[in-house]
């Protein structure tokens, strides 16, 4: 049996894709897009020899770096079915449609420039047609059932605690008369995070492909971060300021809303208006709302006592741009949750333009800010920024809260592996920059004596 690393190898964090090949079947686990600059994004293609005759595709969770190359399979006329959990099916549909739309807008803008320079127009990486075709081929499977997905290959999805619907995939693979178990961790969530159950403990494997995003460090404890958040909100409400939270539409927005609901219920702050100013976050919230079977016991108990919407009477959804513009005329205190999460596009830019120069404004950064983004400039203390061509003075208070990560830190990654260590599986470390990846590998060797493999991109692993 051969497993080829088609992404998130060689120190790369994005582009997750692993081709599992036996004498009888070919299955692709994850089909993610490479993100972060022209050079890596140039990797966003497949060789036909790698994806021709695929029997099935399996998806661990909906994030683009695990799903974004799916439409390329349609473009290449690879007709395989795509299996994932029900919540992943719904969130992947939402995320792929949004991604196709963003790519089309970006390409149109670029093509206007190219036209003016007398250059030929280019095509977006994926089209709406390819996106709709692959969405039509998504098939939901239940958690924790060993079900056949290709000749001689069964798959089971186990909770990964990373986002709604996220899973670790366990394959049982018949090969030359024996059955081998191979686990793909997908992205693992931190233990004890709100909303989601913790990752499931897995106990048997012949080989483990494990993510290492934060393999070298632990995050600040979540309760400390929540307390900091409460303190900032209390101050801002007393100042009658506007609180702006640039947020990713899926996962982070729902986390912030659930924290606000419990703040209101406990009485940490009086009720104030909250605007969820993102059509995609509104759609994602509906999907989160409809999957109570995936909630952890704490959240279930919280909503058993009283429905969350009773705490969130002041939460207003803003699907249209008119709704968004109307927020400008409403005085503080209030909170606006809007995308994009790194302030590099989207409605948050308008709110920042109209409020960054006011000293009573508070901006709370709750997610990772890539280098070169407006969000990163704010975190690094820029005194002036440019938004839509205008120079804006930064008088607002900028707060950075680092403890809301959806990824397990080193301690939780080690915890996840500790349940597999006794059966001594072959360990393949992926999905991490080389620093975190080797740091986790060294720690695992020290604790369990297991020597890890660190594959490069396009490397084959034989079992």
Residues that bind Zn ion (CB under 5 A): 63, 187
- At its nearest, how many Å lie between Zn ion and the CB of residue 303? 25
Residue among 96 and 377 whose Cβ is closer to Zn ion: 96
Alpha helices, H only, 267-343: 279-289, 297-305, 308-311, 321-326
Q: Closest approach of Cβ 107 to Zn ion, in Å?
A: 25
44: left (phi over 0), alpha (psi -120 to 50) or beta: beta
Q: Which uninterrupted H or E stretch holds 150?
A: strand 147-150
CB of 252 to Zn ion, least distance (A): 12
Closest CB to Zn ion among residues 347, 431: 431
Q: Which residues contact 42 (CB under 8 A, 6 or more apart)?
A: none
- Among 200, 341, 344, CA closest to 284: 341
Of 55 and 187, CB closest to Zn ion? 187
Q: Closer to Zn ion at the Cβ: 68 or 332?
A: 68
Q: Which two tokens stand for residue 8?
A: 């998130």
What are the Cα distances from residue 258, in Å, to 6, 14, 87, 300? 37, 28, 18, 12
The answer to whether the CB of 4 falls within 8 A of the CB of 19 is yes
Residue 251 C-beta: closest distance to Zn ion, Å: 8
- Evaluate the omega torsion of the peptide bond into residue 282 and state whether it is cis, within 30 degrees of 0: no
Q: What is the DSSP string of 345-373?
A: SSTHHHHHHHHTT-TT-EEEE-S---TTS
> What's the min distance (Å) between Cβ of 105 and Zn ion?
24
Q: Which residues contact 153 (CB under 8 A, 6 or more apart)?
A: 20, 22, 25, 27, 55, 56, 171, 172, 173, 174
SS3 157: strand
The closest alpha carbon to 78, from 58, 100, 48, 45, belongs to 48
Collapse the DSSP code of 250 into the 3-class scheme (helix H, G, I; strand E, B; otherwise coil) and give the result: coil
- Residue 42 has which token pair? 């140039």
Nearer Cβ to Zn ion, position 130 or 187? 187
Nearer to Zn ion, 58 or 377 (CB): 58
Q: Minimum CB separation from Zn ion for residue 71, in Å?
A: 18
Q: Round to whole Å and give the CA distance between 270 and 251.
A: 25
CB atoms < 10 A from the CB of 423, how many? Answer: 13
Residue 413 Cβ vs Zn ion, minimum distance, rounded to whole Å: 14
Count CB atoms within 10 A of the CB of residue 268. 18
Name residues whose C-beta falls within 8 Å of residue 308's C-beta, 6 or more positions apart in sequence: 258, 261, 302
Compare residues 66 and 268 and give the one whose CB is closer to Zn ion: 66
CB of 61 to Zn ion, least distance (A): 6
Helix pair 222-238, 252-266: axis angle to 10 deg: 70
Q: Dig out the tokens for 82 from the structure.
A: 């795509």
**Which residue do the tokens 């939780």 mark?**
412
Q: Which is nearer to Zn ion, 150 or 406 (CB)?
A: 406
CA distance 326 to 118: 41
- Which CB atom, from 63 or from 268, has the smaller least distance to Zn ion? 63
Minimum distance from residue 187 beta carbon to Zn ion (Å): 4
Using the minimum distance from each CB to Zn ion, give the nearer residue, 21 or 30.
Answer: 30
40 vs 421, which CB is nearer to Zn ion?
40
Nearer to Zn ion, 189 or 333 (CB): 189
């Amino acid at each position: 049996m051969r497993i080829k690393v088609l992404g998130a190898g060689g120190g790369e964090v994005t582009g997750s894709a692993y081709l599992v090949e036996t004498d009888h079947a070919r299955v692709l686990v994850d089909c993610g897009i490479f993100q972060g600059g022209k050079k890596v994004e140039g990797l966003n293609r497949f060789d036909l020899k790698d994806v021709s005759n695929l029997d099935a595709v399996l998806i661990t969770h909906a994030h683009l770096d695990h799903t974004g190359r799916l439409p390329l399979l349609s473009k290449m006329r690879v007709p395989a079915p795509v299996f994932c959990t029900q919540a992943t099916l719904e969130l992947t549909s939402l995320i792929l449609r949004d991604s196709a739309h963003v790519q089309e807008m970006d390409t149109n803008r670029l093509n206007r420039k190219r036209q003016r320079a007398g250059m030929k127009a280019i095509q977006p990486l994926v089209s709406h047609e390819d996106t709709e075709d692959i969405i039509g081929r998504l098939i939901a499977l239940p958690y924790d059932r060993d079900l056949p997905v290709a000749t001689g290959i069964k798959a089971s999805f186990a909770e990964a605690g990373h986002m709604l619907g996220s899973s670790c995939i366990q394959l049982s693979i018949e090969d030359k008369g024996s059955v081998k178990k191979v686990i793909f961790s997908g992205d693992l969530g931190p233990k004890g995070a709100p909303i989601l159950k913790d990752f499931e403990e897995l106990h048997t494997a012949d080989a483990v492909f494990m993510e290492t995003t934060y393999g070298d460090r632990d995050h600040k404890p979540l309760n400390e971060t929540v307390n900091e958040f409460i303190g900032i909100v209390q101050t801002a409400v007393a100042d009658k300021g506007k609180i702006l939270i640039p947020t990713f539409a899926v996962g982070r927005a729902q986390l912030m809303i659930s924290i606000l609901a419990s703040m209101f219920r406990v009485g940490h702050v009086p009720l104030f208006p909250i605007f969820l100013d993102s059509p995609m976050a509104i759609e994602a919230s509906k999907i989160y709302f409809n999957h109570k079977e995936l909630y952890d016991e704490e959240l279930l108990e919280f909503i058993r006592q009283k429905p969350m919407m009773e705490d969130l009477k002041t939460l207003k959804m803003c699907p249209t741009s008119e709704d968004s513009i109307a927020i400008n005329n409403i005085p503080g205190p209030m909170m606006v949750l809007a995308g994009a999460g790194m302030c590099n596009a989207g409605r948050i830019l308008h709110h920042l333009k109209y409020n960054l120069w006011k000293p009573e404004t508070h901006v709370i950064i709750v997610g990772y800010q890539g280098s070169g983004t407006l969000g990163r400039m704010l975190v690094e203390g820029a005194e002036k920024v440019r938004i839509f061509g205008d120079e804006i003075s930064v008088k607002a208070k900028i707060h950075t809260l680092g403890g809301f990560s959806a990824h397990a830190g080193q301690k939780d990654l080690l915890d996840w592996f500790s349940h597999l260590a006794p059966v001594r599986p072959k360990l393949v470390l992926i999905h991490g920059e080389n620093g975190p990846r080797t740091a986790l590998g060294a720690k695992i060797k020290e604790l369990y004596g297991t020597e890890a493999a660190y594959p490069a991109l396009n490397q084959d692993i034989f079992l």
